[in-house]
Every structure is written in structure tokens, then in C-alpha cells.
Amino acid sequence: MRCLLALVLDEDVRADLAQIQDRLARSVDGIRWVASANLHLTLQFLGEWDEQDLEGLAELLDELPQRKPLQLELGELGLLGSKQRPRVVHMGLGGEVGRLQDLVAEIGETVELALGLPREKRAWFPHITLGRVKRLHPGPTEQLKAAFLECGHEAGRPLSSVTSFSLLISQLKPSGALYRRWREFGFVAEPDVADE
């Protein structure tokens, strides 16, 4: 099974991102947009694993330390890849990104322990992939940046408090990947009656 660990976005956030995709699609062609149901924030791509390996990983992920909910917000639209050949149109993130990076580091250590999968050498960059660039006319970066300005997105829209992450199973299809939640991992402690 092809697997990844991710934050699954609420339906209203996905709907807002879909509106941004629609506005961009009117200005720029040559991009394959991610279906709104598939929009997510990848924490770590795991690759191909069988269910038995995933059960062992799930046991360790269930033991991650509890923490307060993460407060995140949508950031700026951007591009990944070179200036002349952008590959990905993405939405950056703001808010408690440092705390999110701490969680990703702990997840990476756990994955390395459970599956022997070495941690990524390059720095993790929090973003939501909105589309993959297939072909663009000359001046692709300028064309996309102009479309970003025209689409009217303003950074700062809060996401709901993040209290869990999920292990997703990805099935590749000609139309794009289909994602199915295999397991969810809550990391926020239940409020103690004494604390109320």
C-alpha cells in the first residue's frame, strides 16, 4: 500500500481552497489541479508498506506525547521548482508552524524507529499542493504570479484547531491519486476535570 502521514483538512477549508483553484484555473492553463476532496498537508511520505508494518508504526504513533492543539492558518500562494520550470502550485501555512515542525520531527523519529525509513535530508516545508504544472506558455513564473494577484487570496484564514493527523492510503489512478484514511492519531489530551 502506498502511504503517507498527513493533516486532513476540514471540508470548509477544502471548499475555500477549491475556490482559489477555480479562480487560478480561469487565468492559467497547463496545470492539473488536485481534487478538493484530496487536498491535505503531507507530514511525511512513507512509500509502499504492507498492513503488518503499518500496525507496528501505528502503535508507536499512538504513544507520541500529548500537546496542545495547533493553531494554523493559510499563508501565501507560491511555487515549488525552479523559476523557469515550476512544478507545483501550493498554499503556504502560517500560525504555529514551529510547533508543527516539532511534531513532524517526532513523527520522523518514530517512522525511522518503526520502519527503518531514514529521515528526509532536506528541510520540511509546510504547504498544501493545489496543482501540478504540466505545461505553461513562455514566462511561466510571471504568468502564475500575475494569476496569484488576480485571484484575490489573502493570507491569514485560520484553519480549525489541529488535534490529530492521519495515515492515508494513496491509490494512483489516471485521473490522480485517491486517498483513504487508514487510521487517525489524536495528540491532544482530554481536559482534566480538575483543570476546569
CATH assignment at residue 70: 3.90.1140.10
Domain assignment of residue 193, yes or no = no
Say what the pLDDT of residue 150 is: 79
Say what the pLDDT of residue 3 is: 93
Say what the pLDDT of residue 194 is: 42
Say what the pLDDT of residue 142 is: 73
Say what the pLDDT of residue 175 is: 72
At which residue does the C-alpha cell 495547533 appear?
A: 70
**153 classed as catalytic:** no
Domain assignment of residue 15, yes or no = yes
Say what the pLDDT of residue 195 is: 45
Say what the pLDDT of residue 71 is: 93
Say what the pLDDT of residue 161 is: 84
Range of the domain at 141: 2-187
Closest-CA residue to 83 (of 131, 133, 22): 133
Say what the pLDDT of residue 136 is: 63
Domain count, the chain: 1
- Distance from first CA to last CA of the chain, Å, rounded? 43
Domain assignment of residue 53, yes or no = yes
Say what the pLDDT of residue 75 is: 92
Spatial distance between the Cα atoms of 13 and 36, rounded to a whole number of angstroms: 9
What's the pTM value of the predicted model, to 2 decimals?
A: 0.86
Say what the pLDDT of residue 193 is: 41
Catalytic-labelled residue, pool 40, 90, 137, 153: 40
Residues 6 or more apart in contact with residue 91 via CB below 8 angstroms: 17, 20, 74, 75, 76, 77, 78, 127, 128, 130
Strands across the sheet containing 40-48? 40-48, 2-8, 164-173, 176-186
Domain assignment of residue 192, yes or no = no
- How would you write the pLDDT of the chain (196 residues) with one tens digit per residue? 889 999 999 999 999 999 999 988 888 888 899 999 999 999 999 989 888 888 989 999 998 888 899 999 999 998 888 877 888 999 999 999 999 999 999 999 999 988 888 877 888 999 999 999 887 655 556 777 777 777 777 778 888 788 999 999 988 877 777 889 999 999 886 655 444 4
Domain assignment of residue 39, yes or no = yes
Domain assignment of residue 118, yes or no = yes
Domain assignment of residue 70, yes or no = yes
Spatial distance between the Cα atoms of 66 and 35, rounded to a whole number of angstroms: 32
Say what the pLDDT of residue 138 is: 54
Say what the pLDDT of residue 154 is: 76
Domain assignment of residue 88, yes or no = yes
Catalytic-labelled residue, pool 90, 127, 137, 153: 127
